[in-house]
Chains A and B, each alone.
Chain A
């Protein structure tokens, strides 16, 4: 079935090697080769992410055929020096290249429990907002683990409690004005 796509004046660039400079592409390709990484090519998003750096996704080459690129990592190149200043940790990159199932969703039941707990935590924060506004709190379900104006105290006490994955947030005042982006 044909699909009509409403495009902006600049078409979405989901194709390989659309970075602004072939030199940048070559830098990434050289880096991949020097690390013995094959069948991976650079791709950039269709916008200038930063004035200082290029953020370049790395995609599995064979996905070109489907016009669907499987992103397996990222490199960051400084625009002044044209040097790679950061990249996805090599272990993760290699794992993502070889993995057949990098996007697996965890057990649905686990996910459901996670969300149920989170809703309790959100409710607890709403119910106690005035009491703890401006403080950091660690909450698990409807149980308060720690609170303090100092985040380090709350993280430390939450860790000491041995309770895994408590929600730790800075409680905002209820009278927060509407946000127009930031």
Chain B
């Protein structure tokens, strides 16, 4: 049995990257910053470098504290803040978690607030990513 899905957007990502990196814009109040973030279906949260949160004007430590397990068995402390996230013109309002320490250099789009808000399909052989907002009709 075949199954069909409809998507609003298709994006050809860079095959040279170690992951699937997308250009996103984070916004908070009047501040905004454009960065690259990788899709990480294994990540519960959207997690970003502390530097970006500070640039947005967030008081990082006033966010919701979480301890996130990393693949190497260690833990990362993050602070979650409600911000706006824009990707290919689709807008989201996730809780973005910013790393406590500056030496965390990853930016990832995880399940809470991003993956659970979209429909997503990937054809990695062709470097194609199909996406729609879940709320999209």
Q: Are B35 and A70 in contact (CB-based, < 8 A)? A: no
Interface residues contributed by chain A, number (CB under 8 Å):
53
Q: A3-B3, A103-B90 are in contact. Are A170 and B82 (CB under 8 A)?
A: no
Q: How far is the CA of A155 from the CA of B5 in the complex (A)?
A: 40
**Shortest distance from the beta carbon of B114 to any chain A beta carbon, whole Å:** 12
Q: Are B82 and A47 in contact (CB-based, < 8 A)? A: no
Contacts of B95 in A (CB 8 A): 55, 74, 76, 86
Find B66's partner among A50, A92, A126, A155 (CB 8 Å cutoff): A50
Contacts of B14 in A (CB 8 A): 122
Contacts of B9 in A (CB 8 A): 105, 111
**10 interchain pairs, CB-CB under 8 A:** A52-B64, A53-B64, A55-B112, A85-B64, A106-B89, A115-B23, A152-B54, A176-B18, A179-B19, A181-B40
Q: Are B18 and A178 in contact (CB-based, < 8 A)? A: yes
Q: Are B49 and A170 in contact (CB-based, < 8 A)? A: yes
Q: Is A168 in the interface zone, CB < 8 Å from B? A: yes
Q: A49-B112, A151-B51 are in contact. Are A167 and B23 (CB under 8 A)?
A: yes
Q: Are B88 and A105 in contact (CB-based, < 8 A)? A: yes
Digit string of B1-37 for contact with A (CB within 8 Å is 1, else 0)? 1010000110100101011000101000000111110
Digit string of A43-74 for contact with B (CB within 8 Å is 1, else 0)? 00101011111010100000000000011011
Q: How far is the CA of A105 from the CA of B87 in the complex (A)?
A: 10
Q: Is B123 in the interface zone, CB < 8 Å from A? A: no
**In chain B, what residue has the closest Cβ to A2?**
B1
Q: Is A143 in the interface zone, CB < 8 Å from B? A: no
Contacts of B134 in A (CB 8 A): 71
Find B135's partner among A103, A108, A182 (CB 8 Å cutoff): A103
Digit string of B100-137 for contact with A (CB within 8 Å is 1, else 0)? 00000110100111001100000000000000011110
Q: Are A71 and B135 in contact (CB-based, < 8 A)? A: yes
Find B93's partner among A53, A73, A122 (CB 8 Å cutoff): A73
**Shortest distance from the beta carbon of A37 to any chain B beta carbon, whole Å:** 16
Digit string of B43-78 for contact with A (CB within 8 Å is 1, else 0)? 111000101001100000001111100110000000
